[in-house]
Chains A and B, each alone.
Chain A
Amino acid sequence: MSKQFQFKLVLLGESAVGKSSLVLRFVKDQFDDYRESTIGAAFLTQTVSLEDGTSVKFEIWDTAGQERYKAPMYYRNANCAVVVYDITQSASLEKARSWIRELQRQADPSIIIALCGNKSDLSARRQVSQEEAKKYAEEEGLMWGETSAKSGEGVQDIFTDIAKKLPKSAPPSARTAGGRTATGARQGVDLNKQANATGGQGEQCNC
């Protein structure tokens, strides 16, 4: 029997860059022109088989893009993060940068971060050049790739690349039959904690 490893992956990025569409393509190989905006977060899983015979199961937390829903619980204890921007919206790369800064400050230091430029099928409307994004990713030591959730291009690659890069030294499957192991910590957003935390933080919603 092949070894299976399990990791928590979180998707972050500005509203409407295609986070849920990337997940839908990756998990079900489907696409909707319009996906309803994600409220809170959506939980899905998908397994990637690697050439060396191991397989990696992702527990995916697809988060809401609106600032209002921002909750550190989603990336806390995440093993990897896919930070998504829209290649046709330069402002979305700025938002991605701010997510990456936050992850570098607050997330687990061993987190693997992939920067992902989505909507590559719309390259005629491109505002973010590959060079610019790639250069930034290299400077920050991030993985980088462009994807099209619509055509499927690059989607499998980015998740497979992450799967390859994740450390396989951890015991296979971080979860025992009884639930989370001590290090696994609890999953799910705790908006309660967020409500308490927002008071002291600089980043507030526009109200």
Chain B
Amino acid sequence: MSPLLTVPSTPASSPPRGQAKSSIPSSKQSQLSLVPSEGEDPDAFHVRSTYAQLDLIGVKGDGVDDGVERTRARLGGSRASELLAEGALADETEKTRDLTPKERELLASLDRYGFFVTPSHDRLILLPAAPLRKSLARVASATAAPASAPLLRAPPPSAAPVKERERTAKWGRMLIAESRDQGSNVELWGIRLSKEPKLRERTFKGIPDCWRSAAWEALMNRFTKTGRRELRQLAEEYRLALDQPSTYDVQIDLDVPRTISGHISFRTRYGQGQRSLFHVLHGLSLHCETCGYCQGMGPIAATLLCYFDPERVYACLVRLHDAYSMHQIFSPGFPGLLEAIYVQERITEQMMPDVYAAFKKHMISTTSYATKWYITLFANSVPFQAQLRLWDAFLLEGHDIFVVVAIAIVWTYRDHITSSSANFESVLSLLSSFFVPEDENALLLWIEKVIADKKVRADMQTWRQDWRRLVSEGKDGSALL
């Protein structure tokens, strides 16, 4: 028996059956064989079974090679394409062989989070620190500033987190294992009660990356008030979902290979990262009938996969959906997005009336630049390290954080927006950019101050209620910029 068949990443499913049109050459087909569910679209089944098959076999050069497309493009009937496809499957030596010099070189070139350093084709601009040294307050903006911010040619490497060793030790004392499995591995992390008063400050200073998975988990448990029982339930739900068909499988498969493809785990077509991403999105698409799968879930799931195994990522996604307002964000019509935007506009109007007037004058609707901020939780809008730090705060505080992040960006560029030479194009281009914080700490400190301001927080609550009232009265149509 092939050792490859012992990989238990996908539960055994239906009994084997002949496969008519498989993307896997017959000589390599494993014993696992799925059958289409009643009414399942053949293309969707083809996608689902391809990922399941490759979960058992593996692909060659995972993380290094590009891999071969098997679902978007069906394999041709030619002998050459069949050989190519067969050559891209893992063989027995894949996991035991030594790395080639080229592979070593490639691994050495990755950044600390696993990304290849490649030129970006986004519009990169610096998010300067100076404006963030001034706290949020009602201000008048200048008109003499230039309309645009200087473009960066390439993102500078993110500065290494400060005092990482000390903070690692502190987090080590702050986090406790709340439960362990039979093998004594930590199953559930929590925050030591005596350290609770320090939690907020330490979280905004940045969770040390080596503790990030434990800390995120503890923050989510805390925020959602869930524990071991719920996690076990969700693990079971995930395993069951893997065997169910989803009408979103084809769409998910279209998005998987283009989701953070600059990261080594997600680079190779049908590599382990892509398969995990497919499985968790497939599971999530079945969790809520209203939301199903929505583009934007991918980068969120991929970020989580950098820290948790797929089963736990599924549990995280469900908790984001259920308890961190993501259900409202992803529902058709994006009601949660519009609510966040309403709150963002009220804060802008109150604190930066000149900026609000400029948006009005240039007829810039907030949805045209902020939609992707709220839907992807700033994945793809800031460097990965900055995104992680925003998420540290998000998992502690909830979705309000992203309204404050949006305000921070508008605050930082306020003089550009109100510039006398600003126009529709300059403002929209500015706010559609990829933002590289000059100083992540300055950004996080600014956000921390705003979110800790009881007046601001209470206003945000009131505005959320105002928005819901407008919606229920059918008066929301003209309430946004």
Show the binding face of A for B, using Cβ within 8 Å. 15-16, 24, 28, 30, 32-45, 59, 64-66, 68-69, 88-89, 122, 124-125, 175, 177-180, 186-196, 198, 204-207
Contacts and interface: CB of A to CB of B under 8 A. Distances in A.
B365 interface: yes
B424 A180 contact: yes
Given A15-B255, A207-B292, 14 more contacts: A16-B72, A34-B258, A34-B261, A35-B258, A37-B298, A41-B371, A45-B425, A64-B295, A68-B294, A68-B295, A124-B76, A179-B362, A187-B364, A189-B367
Q: What are the 9 closest A-B residue pairs judged by CB atoms, nearest first?
A: A40-B371, A188-B368, A195-B333, A188-B365, A39-B372, A34-B258, A186-B363, A34-B261, A16-B254
Contacts of B474: 196
B334 A191 contact: yes
Given A66-B294, A192-B476, A206-B247, A179 B363 contact: yes
Nearest to A30: B121
28 contacts: A15-B255, A30-B121, A34-B261, A37-B255, A37-B296, A39-B371, A42-B432, A43-B428, A44-B429, A64-B295, A88-B73, A124-B76, A125-B73, A179-B362, A179-B423, A180-B363, A186-B365, A192-B367, A192-B476, A195-B333, A195-B334, A195-B335, A195-B338, A196-B333, A196-B474, A196-B476, A206-B247, A207-B289
A49 to B, nearest CB: 18
A70 to B, nearest CB: 10
Nearest to B81: A124
Nearest to B296: A39
Interface of B: 66, 72-73, 76, 121, 247-248, 251, 254-255, 257-261, 289-292, 294-296, 298-299, 332-335, 337-338, 361-365, 367-369, 371-372, 375-376, 380, 423-425, 428-429, 432, 474, 476-477, 479-480
Contact of B254 (A15, A30, A88, A177): A15
Contacts of A44: 429
Nearest to A124: B76
Contacts of B299: 36
B463 to A, nearest CB: 15
A37 B432 contact: no
A40 B480 CA distance: 17
Given A37-B258, A66-B295, A191 B247 contact: no
Contacts of B337: 191
A191 B367 contact: yes
Nearest to B372: A39
A141 B360 CA distance: 38
A5 to B, nearest CB: 15
B371 A179 contact: no
Nearest to A67: B251
A49 B30 CA distance: 58
B55 to A, nearest CB: 21
Contact of A188 (B121, B290, B363, B380): B363
Contact of A59 (B66, B255, B292, B425): B425
B247 to A, nearest CB: 6
Contacts of A190: 365, 367, 480
Contacts of A177: 423
Contacts of A40: 367-368, 371-372, 375
Nearest to B118: A32
Contacts of B375: 39-40
A205 B368 contact: no
